[in-house]
């Protein structure tokens, strides 16, 4: 990174100020609709200092997002946009920049070297540029899809927002390279579902689960663990909603928070407030893993459907709760105090249905492995018709929320519902999934699962930086593929997952052996991870492993709890056969686009070096 010499920096700063002053706040050519009447329900700080703040709303009818970007201390410009995984290269951008004579706003893109180019087609449309007390406020909108191949397609799931600060003027857009700028990324679910708030009970009470007065460590990443407990004799209630409580000023610091219930088998848990990886943390806290509530940056309140609530309290459940707060502190700010947490809203008037959480995807076992150096390897776990037939009530269950989960190499996750061999609908999908951004998401549409349905969960992994195979397991360097679905009415089925039949995996190792002059140790005392570690990863062994996973019979976990299976034969089950796949929606790209101007919008006519 180039650091300009003080004099240059100083000049640039003066210059920037001048531009900011001269940035005449005219309402720039409003070629489209007026600013939306509804305010912006969603807000997020983009940078750790909070100098860039994004607000937005979503119109599903117009398939458009309106953005309001607040730039608190405008220098010579700003860039904002989206990219596949938060990289500044190959990004879809809007740029506000000045060439000294005026400020311009344009739809642009960065190439793989980070150089910026103006889009042939201008799809971000500036609606207003306004000086406010807080800073410069830019209002612009963009359709979800633009048909411009250089543009990002705004989809459900995670969106990686990127930003950059222009410290000095540039003669042209092409003169800008993102590598020389202060840049960053922020993950967010941009397309929030448009769900009306369910009616809330009149006897609703609240409970705040927060770690009081935490001194946030001056390091980039901290997971803070805090144990609290429900009042003695607290009876059974239903949680009907919850929302984050973020200490004012720490909005850019608190990344995500979860409340877990501890295991009922232990009478009590020691109190603790400290980093989760502390050596002082009592061992027993590892038994506090049953999720009650989860929030991540950008999310708002979470509401249960009107007819269901999540039970807590009462006999048979632990009084002890664990709060986990993830502090993301890249500027290593020291001395900051925080008391963030989650506010639970609950009722004693139990709703008609208990809500439950079911685990779909892959069993945590090393037989499911990803070869090294794969950029998009897919593993798939099944919840079979046989299991749903046995375990679901005749009227089915209704999935209303979902939390996707993998470890570090996960890049995409999707769960599809199939019926009679035909894919019917997507339960949840994230094409830009990040293991660093796992939130419980309300589904746009409740998905009903009937006995005999199949749920297929596929995860895509990138092991480009690994030297050895990545096997399934609990370790952070091992992998998982899980979708925690939130549903009602509660059933006994807690876990509906699969893995390849271990006998067929041994046949695979045997054939690898045969084709590769006995390099792989298949002696019976060898463990599966060791066998995978000795596979020479040539194209043949990679492709045959893929073929094996999409062919070999599976072993099903159709379980009441993590150890208790439903009765039946669950080994050597046939892979569910899918005879028709869901089609990708085709985006209708109009041949003549008309409205969008061909060039950037002139925002200011202010004179240069005043």
Which residues of this protein are in contact with a copy of itself, per CB under 8 A?
119-121, 148-149, 504, 507, 510-511, 514-515, 538-540, 543-544, 546-548, 550-552, 589-593, 598
Of 355, 340, 357, 344, residue with least CA distance to 291: 357
- Per the annotation, the verdict on 160 as an active-site residue is no
Cα end-to-end distance, the chain, whole Å: 30
Report, in Å, the least distance between residue 569 CB and a copy of itself: 19
- Of 144 and 508, which CB lies nearer to a copy of itself in the complex structure? 508
Give CA–CA dist 274/67, Å, rounded. 38
- Of 300 and 587, which CB lies nearer to a copy of itself in the complex structure? 587
User: Which one from 43, 328, 405, 436 is the annotated catalytic residue?
Assistant: 405
Distance of CA 198 to the CA centre of its chain: 24
Report, in Å, the least distance between residue 598 CB and a copy of itself: 6
What 8-state DSSP symbol labels residue 10? H
User: Which one from 42, 43, 117, 223 is the annotated catalytic residue?
Assistant: 223
Which H, E and C letters describe 485-548, residue by residue? EEEECCCCCCEEEEEECHHHHHHHHHHHHHHCCCCCCCCCCCCHHHHHHCCCCCHHHHHHHHHH
Contact 161, 42 (CB under 8 A): no
Give CA–CA dist 149/123, Å, rounded. 12
- Of 3 and 579, which CB lies nearer to a copy of itself in the complex structure? 579
Q: Which H helix or E strand runs over 7?
A: helix 6-22
- Of 300 and 514, which CB lies nearer to a copy of itself in the complex structure? 514
Give CA–CA dist 67/94, Å, rounded. 11
Report, in Å, the least distance between residue 111 CB and a copy of itself: 13
Report, in Å, the least distance between residue 170 CB and a copy of itself: 23
Token pair belonging to 280? 């002082």
- Of 134 and 174, which CB lies nearer to a copy of itself in the complex structure? 174
Report, in Å, the least distance between residue 214 CB and a copy of itself: 51
Give CA–CA dist 555/553, Å, rounded. 7
Distance of CA 260 to the CA centre of its chain: 19
Contact 310, 346 (CB under 8 A): no
Give CA–CA dist 70/200, Å, rounded. 34
- Per the annotation, the verdict on 405 as an active-site residue is yes
- Of 205 and 514, which CB lies nearer to a copy of itself in the complex structure? 514
Report, in Å, the least distance between residue 511 CB and a copy of itself: 4
Known catalytic residues are 223, 405
């Amino acid at each position: 990174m180039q650091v300009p010499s003080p004099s240059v920096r100083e000049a640039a700063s003066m210059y920037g100020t001048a531009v900011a002053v001269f940035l005449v706040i005219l309402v720039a050519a409003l070629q489209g609709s007026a600013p939306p009447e509804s305010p912006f329900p969603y807000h997020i700080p983009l940078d750790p200092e909070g100098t860039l703040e994004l607000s937005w709303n979503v119109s599903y009818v117009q398939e458009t997002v309106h953005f309001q970007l607040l730039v608190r201390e405008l220098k010579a410009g700003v860039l904002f946009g989206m990219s596949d995984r938060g990289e500044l290269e190959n990004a879809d951008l809007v740029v506000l920049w000045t060439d000294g004579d005026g400020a311009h706003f344009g739809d642009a893109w960065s190439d793989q070297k980070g150089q910026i180019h103006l889009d042939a087609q201008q799809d971000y449309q500036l609606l207003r540029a306004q000086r406010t007390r807080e800073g410069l406020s830019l209002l612009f909108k963009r359709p979800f899809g633009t048909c411009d191949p250089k543009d990002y397609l705004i989809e459900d799931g995670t969106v990686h927002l990127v930003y950059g600060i222009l410290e000095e003027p540039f003669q042209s857009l092409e003169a800008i390279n993102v590598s020389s700028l202060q840049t960053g990324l922020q993950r967010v679910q941009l397309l929030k579902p448009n769900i009306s708030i369910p009616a809330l009970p009149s006897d609703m009470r609240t409970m705040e689960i927060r770690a009081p007065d935490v001194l946030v460590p001056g390091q980039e990443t901290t997971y803070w663990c805090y144990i609290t407990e429900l009042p003695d004799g607290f009876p059974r209630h239903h949680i009907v909603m919850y929302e984050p409580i973020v200490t004012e000023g720490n909005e850019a610091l608190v990344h995500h928070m979860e409340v877990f219930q501890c295991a009922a088998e232990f009478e009590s848990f020691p109190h603790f407030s400290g980093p989760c990886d502390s050596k002082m943390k009592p061992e027993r806290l590892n038994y506090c893993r049953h999720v009650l509530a989860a929030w991540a940056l950008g999310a708002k309140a979470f509401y249960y459907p009107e007819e269901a609530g999540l039970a807590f309290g009462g006999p048979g459940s632990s009084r002890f709760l664990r709060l986990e707060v993830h502090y993301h502190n890249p500027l290593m700010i020291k001395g900051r105090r925080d008391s963030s947490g989650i506010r639970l809203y609950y009722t004693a008037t139990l709703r008609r249905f208990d809500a439950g959480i079911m685990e779909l995807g892959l069993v945590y076992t090393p037989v499911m492995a990803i070869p090294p150096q794969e950029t998009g390897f897919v593993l798939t776990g099944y919840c079979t018709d046989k299991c749903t037939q046995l375990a679901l009530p005749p009227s089915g269950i209704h999935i209303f929320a979902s939390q996707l989960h993998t470890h570090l190499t996960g890049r995409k996750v999707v769960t599809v519902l199939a019926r009679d061999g035909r894919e019917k609908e997507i339960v949840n999908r994230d094409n830009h999934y990040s293991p660093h951004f796992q939130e419980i998401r309300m589904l746009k549409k409740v998905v009903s699962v009937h006995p005999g349905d199949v749920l297929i969960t596929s995860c895509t992994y990138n092991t480009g930086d690994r030297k050895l195979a990545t096997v399934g397991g609990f370790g952070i360097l091992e992998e998982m593929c899980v979708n925690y679905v939130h549903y009602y009415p509660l059933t006994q089925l807690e876990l509906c997952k699969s893995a390849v039949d271990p006998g067929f995996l041994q046949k695979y190792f045997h054939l690898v052996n045969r084709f590769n002059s006995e390099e792989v140790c298949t002696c019976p005392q060898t463990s599966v991870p060791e066998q995978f570690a000795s596979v020479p990863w040539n194209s043949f062994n990679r492709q045959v492993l893929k073929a094996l996973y999409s062919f070999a019979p599976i072993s099903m976990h159709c379980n009441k709890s993590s150890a208790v299976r439903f009765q039946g034969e669950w080994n050597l089950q046939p892979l569910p056969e899918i005879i028709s796949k869901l089609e990708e929606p085709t985006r209708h790209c109009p041949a003549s686009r008309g409205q969008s101007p061909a060039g950037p919008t002139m925002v200011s006519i202010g004179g240069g070096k005043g």
